Structure 1
């Protein structure tokens, strides 16, 4: 026999339990090329490098005053 819940959990109770997952801080690492903070295992949005090589060519925007 497999244990089963006696009653259906309401959506509110379910969502309140799951709400704590979103409160955790994002795990950021520093890019080895430009030093910008980025998510791990992703291409750097600033310079376009991943694991030491350029994967995406990112155009630098010219700053105008």
Structure 2
């Protein structure tokens, strides 16, 4: 099994870890103006694709 020959420096380790970050979730508006996640029913009015899905 391959083993690193030298220890990874502190700056290389930190610069590699700096690229690992969470992205901001995408948001869209339902037809009534509420902000929701895309491809999900609106939790405020219960509509999806201009149809009533959930009774709120």
Q: Which structure's residues are more often helix, by fraction? A: 1
Unpaired runs of 5+ residues, structure 1, are: 8-12, 59-65
- Report the count of equivalent residues: 44
CA-based RMSD of the aligned residues comes to 2.4
Q: CA deviation at 1:6?
A: 2.4
Unpaired runs of 5+ residues, structure 2, are: 4-12
Q: CA deviation at 1:18?
A: 8.3
TM-score normalized by structure 1? 0.56
CA distance in 1, matches of 2:43, 2:19: 30
- Deviation above 6 Å: which 4+ runs of structure 1? none
**RCO greater where, 1 or 2, for CA within 8 Å and sep 6 or more?**
2
